Chain A
């Protein structure tokens, strides 16, 4: 079974924001919510400026799942972390727990009321029937069920952002790195966020810390 992941190649990302636009348009994401965004560091410094497209990393040991008080998250067989908006209470705990800022909330109502959480679904919808109107209205497109991959990755003009089966995309990235190294450029094999979110390749998901080892936790 495939284990779906994203990789963003910082040497290729040109900060065009095409992935952001494609995601918003295809999933009809409301104003004020960005499931994907491009982050630039060292902006304007020649030779040091790097951009990276960030969204939900669909972590193997997702902290959002761990902290959700109503247990609305679930992981599909393809390794995609999804949530049920009918259960979500919009508390925002997942937003604080996520190291990538993936969970997003609309806060346009009176008294700063927050909406239910919205995040990248790896274009695989939610618990509603595949491709149904109800699924689209809550979660956006279900491209995986249509035999496609996430639009942000598929339409990336420089192929900086690639998404799909982790083994395939990591082999694509490894090929690029080896070509770069052979050309004497960018000798780096590190991928930003990969080891943080996913752990080393072929490693099982880490076991949660026992309650006995957490100060103040009830077992």
Chain B
């Protein structure tokens, strides 16, 4: 009887100390990282510029490139002279 109690006690201690081995790996942060949506897919918020088609990468690139060139006063001046 005494031997049985000792065995049971040892089993309980072993079970308690080895409980951590059954914990799931803590990699939740990496798993939660979501892929971003490309900007050429457009935004459904009513603030989109006109002149390009959402989901069309080429159209978006051309539109943004055109807008980009507007930051150069040399090209802006040229386009205003043509008009």
Q: Which residues of A contact B (CB under 8 A)?
A: 1-2, 70-72, 74, 76-78, 82, 84, 86-87, 124, 126-127, 129-132, 142, 144-149, 153-154, 159, 162-165, 168-169, 172, 175, 179
Q: Could you say which interface size class chain B belongs to? A: 20 to 34
- Contact A74 to B36, CB < 8 A, known contacts A154-B71, A168-B68: yes
Q: Taking the complex as formed, is B47 at the interface, i.e. its CB lies under 8 A from any CB of chain A?
A: yes
Q: Note all chain A residues with C-beta closer than 8 A to B43.
A: 130-131, 142, 145-146
Q: How far is the CB of A196 from chain B (nearest CB, A)?
A: 22
A-contact bits for B14-47, CB 8 A (1 contact / 0 none): 0000000000000001101111111111111101
Q: How far is the CB of A99 from chain B (nearest CB, A)?
A: 25
Q: When chains A and B are docked, how far (Å) is the Cα of A8 from the Cα of B43?
A: 28
Contact across chains for A130 and B39 when beta carbons are under 8 A apart: yes
Q: How far is the CB of A166 from chain B (nearest CB, A)?
A: 10
A76 and chain B: residue at smallest CB distance: B36
Contact partner, B69, options A126, A163, A168, Cβ 8 Å: A168
Q: Note all chain A residues with C-beta closer than 8 A to B73.
A: 159
Q: How far is the CB of A15 from chain B (nearest CB, A)?
A: 19
14 A-B contact pairs sorted by A residue (CB < 8 Å): A2-B61, A70-B29, A84-B34, A87-B29, A87-B32, A127-B36, A131-B42, A145-B41, A147-B48, A147-B51, A164-B67, A164-B71, A168-B68, A172-B69
Q: Note all chain B residues with C-beta closer than 8 A to A74.
A: 33, 36
Contact partner, A162, options B29, B35, B44, B71, Cβ 8 Å: B71
Q: When chains A and B are docked, how far (Å) is the Cα of A169 from the Cα of B75?
A: 12
Q: Note all chain A residues with C-beta closer than 8 A to B40.
A: 145
- Contact A72 to B64, CB < 8 A, known contacts A124-B39, A159-B71: no
**What are the 10 closest A-B residue pairs judged by CB atoms, nearest first?**
A131-B43, A131-B45, A164-B68, A144-B39, A147-B49, A145-B43, A130-B43, A172-B72, A127-B34, A145-B39
B38 and chain A: residue at smallest CB distance: A77
Contact across chains for B38 and A153 when beta carbons are under 8 A apart: no
Having A131-B47, A164-B68, one finds 18 other A-B pairs with CB under 8 Å, namely A71-B29, A74-B33, A74-B36, A76-B36, A82-B36, A87-B32, A129-B44, A131-B44, A131-B45, A142-B43, A145-B40, A145-B42, A147-B52, A147-B60, A154-B67, A164-B64, A168-B69, A175-B72
